[in-house]
Structure 1
Amino acid sequence: MTISATTQRVRINGNDLAVEVLGPPADRPDAPVLIAHHGAPGLGSRAEPRASFGRLADEYRVIVFDARGSGESEGSGVFSHEQWAADVDGLRRWAGVESIIMGGGSYGGFMAMEYAVRYPGRVRAMVLRDTSADSSNMGRARENALATDRVEIDMEKFDRIDTGTVRDDDDLRDCWREILPLYDHVYDPEAVERKVAATPYRYEAHNYAFSVNMPDYDISAQLPSITAPTLVTVGRTDWITPVESSEKIVSLIPNARLVVFERSGHSPQVEQAEEWTATVRSFLHEVL
């Protein structure tokens, strides 16, 4: 089955976003719309959700995009959670639908939950991956970085990327290279270098996210208001948003379920791709 894909510049809330629409096949013109938010502001891009959620484009109209300040999108305005959530709703309106499936991993999971809280009538279902309801995971992540026996982490670089105080795009690249060995279940130095080379660096959005947004980030009290069926997935050895973070989310969202992937770190959508995709597809079939 052939899945169509189009990429375009879309003006959303006064900012040009790089947007890609995947599928659905011509015989499914009324397929539900799934919008997936990438992680890591200033480091992430639509490439990751295209590779993971894009596998569902045989059944759904999957929209992936570079968030304001990331990837190939314009970086005007502020990089607040309120603004990024408003941009998601702008994409929903542009897509011409009343409600969407909302997806996101890591920081994209923060934004998926923010959107579901801020726009409660617009979410039919939600799929989260390796994320957290508050910033408490950052302390655990620092402990894990100090305790790792894979590599010796330069904690000065760790602290710059963790607190959003990197100096420029080159510094962001160096700090990113420093912590990348921690992410996967099985450490592969060559894979780390490939990721370093493939990453688009936008230090302004990263710094804002981690120096302004993250210190006060805590959406825990709002999660019980989410009524959309929610799937939470996480890798067993995730160092930065550990299983406990996902367990907390599931305990707070009334209609949520948790699936732990035993042979994955922060990216079960990559490390156990077939199992992760089948889990998400089965969940959506059930709840929709």
Structure 2
Amino acid sequence: MRGVDDLRLWLDAVLDGLGLTNGIPMAGQSYGCYASAEYALHAPQRVSKLVWIAPVMIGAPIPQEFVARLMSVADGRRESLEEYCRWIMPSIAVKYPEEFDRRIDEILLVRERYGTMFPPVRAAVMSDDDLQRIEVPTLDILGECDGATADPHEAIERVESLMPHVETILVPRAGHDIVAAETELVTQRLLKFLQ
């Protein structure tokens, strides 16, 4: 996928292949939130609800510290990748060390097979106009200490001010791996919202 249009067309094809035409709830984590937002702008008649967990590039841009730490991984060493992932996914690293190691292995395998991959985006952050155009009910769950969002408090405030049908949760002390840090809370809120 070289651009956002490719992303949208791919999602069209996946949903068509599954026979899903409308009333589709979409949930994403991290970049998956951005992808679902782009899709909701592209095909609003198909999407019934959105769930964003640790969204990036929605309410605020990715911070420079995130980019700098990510650049340090370019040396290809496992140690550099582990250090970065311990910073961005501290709860997984501590609570689920075997899962953490599997994720490191997976990232290294993807890099070996496909090289460096950059997901398609239109801008560093979604515009005010784009956020206002997303009219489906949306649940936005963000950790207060998410290293992939420049200012989580500001991101939540911006989304609340622009989106008419958004429900937001800013979780204290949670990072980008909020699903591992606050599994029960995320699960309960997601299920309640989707029901």
Offset at 1:263?
A: 4.4
What is the aligned partner in structure 2 of residue 112 from structure 1? 36
Matches within 5 A, 1:54-73: none
Q: Which structure dedicates a bigger proportion of its chain to strand? A: 1
Given that 1:106 and 1:129 are in contact with CA atoms closer than 8 Å, whether structure 2 keeps it comes out as yes
Structure 1 residues 134, 237: CA separation in 2 closer, same or farther (over 3 Å shift)?
closer
Offset at 1:83?
A: 1.1
Matched, 1:188 2:94: yes
Q: Using the alignment, how far apart are the partners of 1:185 and 1:261 within structure 2? A: 15
Matches within 5 A, 1:205-224: 206-209=116-119, 213-214=120-121, 216-220=123-127, 221-224=129-132
Offset at 1:110?
A: 0.8
Given that 1:125 and 1:229 are in contact with CA atoms closer than 8 Å, whether structure 2 keeps it comes out as yes
**Runs of 4+ displaced beyond 4 Å:** 172-175, 203-206
Select which of 166, 191, 194 maps to 1:281: 191
- Provide structure 2 residue ranges, at least 5 long, that are not aligned to the other structure: none
Q: Using the alignment, how far apart are the partners of 1:205 and 1:217 within structure 2? A: 23
Structure 1 residues 134, 206: CA separation in 2 closer, same or farther (over 3 Å shift)?
farther
Select which of 58, 76, 81 maps to 1:133: 58
Residue type of the alignment partner of 1:264: A
Structure 1 residues 121, 174: CA separation in 2 closer, same or farther (over 3 Å shift)?
farther
Q: Using the alignment, how far apart are the partners of 1:258 and 1:224 within structure 2? A: 15
Q: Using the alignment, how far apart are the partners of 1:173 and 1:123 within structure 2? A: 39
Q: Using the alignment, how far apart are the partners of 2:72 and 2:121 within structure 1? A: 14
Offset at 1:160?
A: 5.5
Q: Using the alignment, how far apart are the partners of 2:143 and 2:21 within structure 1? A: 32
SS in 2 for 1:120: coil
Matches within 5 A, 1:76-115: 78-99=1-22, 100-115=24-39
- Provide structure 1 residue ranges, at least 5 long, that are not aligned to the other structure: 1-77, 143-154
SS in 2 for 1:137: coil
TM-score, normalised with respect to structure 2: 0.78
Offset at 1:79?
A: 3.4
RMSD: 2.9
Given that 2:50 and 2:139 are in contact with CA atoms closer than 8 Å, whether structure 1 keeps it comes out as yes
Given that 1:185 and 1:264 are in contact with CA atoms closer than 8 Å, whether structure 2 keeps it comes out as no
Q: Using the alignment, how far apart are the partners of 2:125 and 2:161 within structure 1? A: 15
Structure 1 residues 113, 81: CA separation in 2 closer, same or farther (over 3 Å shift)?
same
What is the aligned partner in structure 2 of residue 236 from structure 1? 144
Residue type of the alignment partner of 1:91: V
Quick one: percent identity of the two aligned structures? 22
Offset at 1:86?
A: 1.6
Given that 1:185 and 1:237 are in contact with CA atoms closer than 8 Å, whether structure 2 keeps it comes out as no
Q: Which structure dedicates a bigger proportion of its chain to helix? A: 2
Residue type of the alignment partner of 1:230: T
For these two proteins, the number of residue pairs brought into alignment is: 185
